[in-house]
Amino acid sequence: MIGGAASAMAADWHTVAEITASAKTEASEIGVGRDVREIQIECREGAVVINTLWVRGGGGKREIRVARLFNKGEKQQFDLGGSQTVASFRISNRGPGVFRVLVK
């Protein structure tokens, strides 16, 4: 029953945003408002450069330096080292392309 296990794992991910990145560097603000233990960034169209991911919550913020080009279909996960309440993300990005941000 490997297919069922794979479906259950995919069901754990929740999309919090799908962002169209322009050709200039921008910072996208994403409201989250939930407990998060992992973050995933996935390029859906074109190519997207993700420079920095800021995780905000609990009165503080944490910087995750990504500094990576994502081509269509590529994704990367970031483990927060345990569940924490996240208020929002701020993601420095450049396209042109579309990327999705998922959490679990």
Digit-coded pLDDT (tens) for 64-75 = 999 999 999 999
Q: Which CATH class is domain 2-103?
A: mainly beta
Mean pLDDT of 36-45: 99
CA 88 distance to own-chain centroid: 11
- Residue 2 predicted with pLDDT over 80: no
- Residue 25 predicted with pLDDT over 90: yes
If pLDDT is split at 50, 70 and 90, which confidence band does 10 have?
Answer: low
Q: Provide the residue ranges of all domains of the chain, joining segments of one domain with +.
A: 2-103
Residue partners of 50: CB distance under 8 A and separation at least 6? 41, 66, 67, 68, 70, 91, 92, 93, 99
pTM for the model:
0.87
